[in-house]
Amino acid sequence: MLPPSAPDVAANRLGVLVQACDATAGLIGAAVRHGLGTPPAVSTAALLAEVLRLDPPVRGTRRVATASVRLAGRHLAAGDPVLLRFDAANRDPAVVADPDRLLPGRTGLPVTFGAGPRGCPGERHALALAGGVVEVLRHRCRLVPGPADHEPHPLLRVPTRLEVEVR
C-alpha cells in the first residue's frame, strides 16, 4: 500500500473532527435523556459508561478482515468488509444481564469506543466534555418529557431535540 497523500490525511482528520462532534453530542443527549433522573449517588462516569452501553451514539463502524477467519459460522476472507455493531454487542444477553435496563455501575466496559490500535482516538476527549456537561445538567435541570427523535443516520444516534427545565 502507498502512504496516504496529504489530501487523504486532511480528509481523515476532518472526518474525525466531524464525527467526534456528532458522537459527543449524541452521548450528551442520550445521557440527558436516560440519566437526569438518576440518584445523585450515581457517579457521572458510571452513568456515561452505562449510557454508552445502552444507547451508544455511534451504533457501529466498518472494518476490513485482515486475515481469513470463521466468525459465527461464516467464513470471512482477508479483505472482506465487516460491519461491527456496537449497539448489538453491548446488549448481547449472553454477556449482559438485563441488557435493556439502565443500571449504572455494571462491571465490564461497553465496546462502543473499540480498543487497541483501532480504538476511538477521541474517547478521553468525548468523556471529559460529556462528563462536564452532564454533571452540571444532572444537578441543575430536569428533563421535560417529549418525543425521542433522532437525526436520520444509519450509524449515528444524535437527538434532534431535548428539552430541559432549570430547577
Mean pLDDT calculated for residue range 96-110: 93
The separation between CA 9 and the C-alpha centre of its own chain, rounded to angstroms, equals 24
pLDDT digits (tens, 9 = 90+) for 105-144: 999 889 999 888 878 888 999 999 999 999 999 999 999 9
Q: Residue 34 falls within a domain, yes or no?
A: yes
Q: How does residue 6 score in pLDDT terms, banded at 50, 70 and 90?
A: confident
| 118 found inside a domain | yes
Report pLDDT digits (tens) over 63-85: 899 999 998 899 999 999 999 99
**Cα dihedral 97, 32, 113, 77 sign:** positive
Q: Are 51 and 133 in contact (CB under 8 A)?
A: no
pLDDT interval class at 2 (50, 70, 90)? low
Q: Give the residue, 141 or 8, on which the prediction is more confident.
A: 141
Q: Give the mean pLDDT of 25-48.
A: 96
Which parts of the chain fold into alpha helices (H)? 6-35, 44-54, 86-90, 123-140
The per-residue pLDDT for 51 is 98
- How many structural domains comprise the chain? 1
Asked if residue 1 is part of any domain, the answer here is: no
Angstrom distances, CA of residue 114 to CA of 57, 83, 106, 150: 13, 13, 18, 23
Write down the pLDDT at residue 81: 94
Query: Which CATH number is 12's domain given?
Result: 1.10.630.10
User: Is 17 a residue whose pLDDT tops 90?
Assistant: no
Which domain range does residue 53 map to?
6-166
Host H or E run for residue 84: strand 81-85
Span 39-45, average pLDDT: 95
3-state secondary structure of 85: strand
